[in-house]
Structures are given as C-alpha cells and as structure tokens.
C-alpha cells in the first residue's frame, strides 16, 4: 500500500523565514499527492495537489511543493512565514484506492 | 453551495452507549468518506461510499462501527457500545470522481469531536 512519511512532528520558524515541511512517498511511480492544512478546531483544507501535470505545484496562501522523483519527496515550502500560517499540515497520497492515506502531520509554529 | 457539514460538533457519551454522527456532503458529490483523527494516531480512513456501489468498509476498526448513506447524500456513522478508545474527531469528506476515476479533491467537514467517558 502507498504511504507518506512526514519528517518532523513539530517545526518552528520565525515570522518572515522560509517554511519547509518534509514529506516522502513510498511509491516508485509518483501517485496523486496532496498537502492539507488544519487550523484549530476546523476540518482539513486543501493547500495543493500534484497530479503529474507539473513537477512544481503552486497552492493557496503562497505555498508550493515540488515533486522530486529521484528522492520520492514532495516537500511543502513557503518563502516567508506569516503568523497566520500556524497550523497542522498533512501530506496525503491517493492512488488506485479512493481514500487518502495521510502522514502523521507536522505542527507549524510561527514565532514573532 | 455550502461545504460539508457535520453534526453534532461535539458529543460526550458514556461508555457502552451508542452514538450517531451525521454528515451532509456537498451537493452533487458522489463520493463520501469517513476518517478518524485520534491523538497519536493521525488520520485514518474508515469507510468510503461511491454512488450506488457497495461501500468500502475496509477501514472500520470493529463490528461496532457501521455507516450508511441514504439517497446518495446524507451519511450516518454509528458506533455501538462505545469504548473510551473511540474518543476522537470523526471527519467526513466528499468529492466528485473524475472521468479517469481518480481522486479529485476531497472537501472536509469540521468534524465531530467524540468523547467517551
């Protein structure tokens, strides 16, 4: 079964600094990959998704992710963190199975 | 239209009681999913409905869990004889299925926080 691994359950960055959240997938063929964000007491909101059309995917709120097949990675980045980016971020994979398989999540803290 | 809605937002129950959680998907979405989000367990898939097809129940943790989807729209997740380990946030999502049958974006509801005392 396909899976994703998120490295780092907690990441702290200063406001204005680069955000880098790591995700690696298990499949040799890049599956459908997603990044979701969850704000406190809310459901998950899609940030971006990879569907093989382009290796660099741009999402909402200034986030983007690049798939690197040689590294089986799909890391999420944002050039300049904002206080409002503090949330939990989930990488997920969807393939032949309809449901998504989620990583364990990364809690992002943005320091003033 | 409106997004995915779930009710209740919070549910506190006593061990051994039955609970029903409701999900209203986005109108027109044929696929509906239930996930469970537990502390230390992350998000785990429970069950998937697609149109009139038989649901994929492969994620249900025990026979105390069941779900139905009436009229291809509203879904109810039922947990019988609740246990303390059932305490979690139960998330519902819906999506449309593309022509290739692949995953399209899943839209999530706010969840129901279940606490079993």
pLDDT tens-place string over residues A42-52:
889 999 988 77
A103–chain B Cβ distance below 8 A for any pair: yes
B108–chain A Cβ distance below 8 A for any pair: yes
CA distance B81 to B15: 7
Residue B103's pLDDT is 55
Instruction: Look at residue A106 and give its three-state secondary structure.
Output: strand
pLDDT band at residue A29 using 50, 70 and 90 as cut-offs: low
Nearest to B48 among A34, A36, A99 (CB): A99
CA distance A72 to A65: 13
Residue A37's pLDDT is 96
CA distance A67 to A56: 7
Cβ contacts (< 8 Å) between A35 and chain B: which residues?
none
Low pLDDT (below 70) residues in chain B: 1, 40, 98-104
B42–chain A Cβ distance below 8 A for any pair: yes
Residues with Cβ within 8 Å of residue B107, at least 6 apart in sequence = A46, B3, B4, B26, B29, B93, B94, B95
If you ran DSSP here, which 8-state letter would residue B44 be given? E
Q: Which of B48, B25, B107, B38 is nearest to A49 (CA)?
A: B107
Mutate to test the interface with A, among B5, B26, B38, B43 (most CBs of A within 10 A): B43
**In the predicted model, what is the mean pLDDT of chain A?**
90
Residue A30's pLDDT is 65
Cβ contacts (< 8 Å) between A98 and chain B: which residues?
31, 33, 48, 50, 56, 97, 103
Residue B57's pLDDT is 92
A104–chain B Cβ distance below 8 A for any pair: yes
B48–chain A Cβ distance below 8 A for any pair: yes
CA distance B116 to A1: 32
Contact criterion met (CB < 8 Å) for A100 and B45: yes
Mutate to test the interface with A, among B30, B106, B109, B111 (most CBs of A within 10 A): B106
Residue B105's pLDDT is 81
- Given CA atoms B80, B85, B89, B93 in this order, what sign does their dihedral have? negative
Residue A53's pLDDT is 74
**CA–CA distance from A90 to each of A7, A24, B55, B77 (Å)?**
11, 12, 25, 24
Cβ contacts (< 8 Å) between A104 and chain B: which residues?
42
**CA–CA distance from B39 to each of A8, A104, B23, B56, B91 (Å)?**
16, 10, 22, 24, 14
Residue B104's pLDDT is 67
Contact criterion met (CB < 8 Å) for A43 and B91: yes
Mean pLDDT of A68-95: 93
Q: Which of B80, B105, B93 is nearest to B37 (CA)?
A: B93
């Amino acid at each position: 079964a396909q899976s994703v691994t998120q490295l780092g359950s907690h990441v702290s960055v200063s406001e204005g600094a680069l955000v880098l959240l790591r995700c690696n997938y298990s499949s040799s063929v890049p599956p459908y990959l997603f990044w979701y964000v969850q704000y406190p007491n809310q459901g998950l909101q899609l940030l971006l998704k990879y569907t093989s059309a382009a290796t660099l995917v741009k999402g909402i709120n200034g986030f983007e992710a690049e798939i690197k097949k040689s590294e089986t990675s799909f890391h999420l980045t944002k050039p300049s963190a904002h206080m409002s980016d503090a949330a939990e971020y989930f990488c997920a994979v969807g393939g032949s199975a309809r449901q998504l398989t989620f990583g364990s999540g990364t809690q992002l803290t943005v320091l003033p | 239209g409106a997004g995915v809605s779930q009710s209740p937002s919070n549910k506190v129950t006593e061990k051994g009681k039955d609970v029903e959680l409701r999900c209203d998907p986005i109108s027109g979405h044929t696929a509906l999913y239930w996930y469970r989000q537990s502390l230390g367990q992350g998000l785990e898939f429970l069950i998937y409905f697609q149109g009139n097809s038989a649901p994929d129940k492969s994620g249900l943790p025990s026979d105390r869990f069941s779900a139905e989807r009436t009229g291809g729209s509203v879904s109810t997740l039922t947990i019988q004889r609740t246990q303390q380990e059932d305490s979690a946030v139960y998330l519902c999502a819906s999506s449309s299925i593309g022509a290739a049958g692949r995953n399209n974006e899943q839209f999530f509801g706010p969840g129901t926080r279940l606490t079993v005392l």
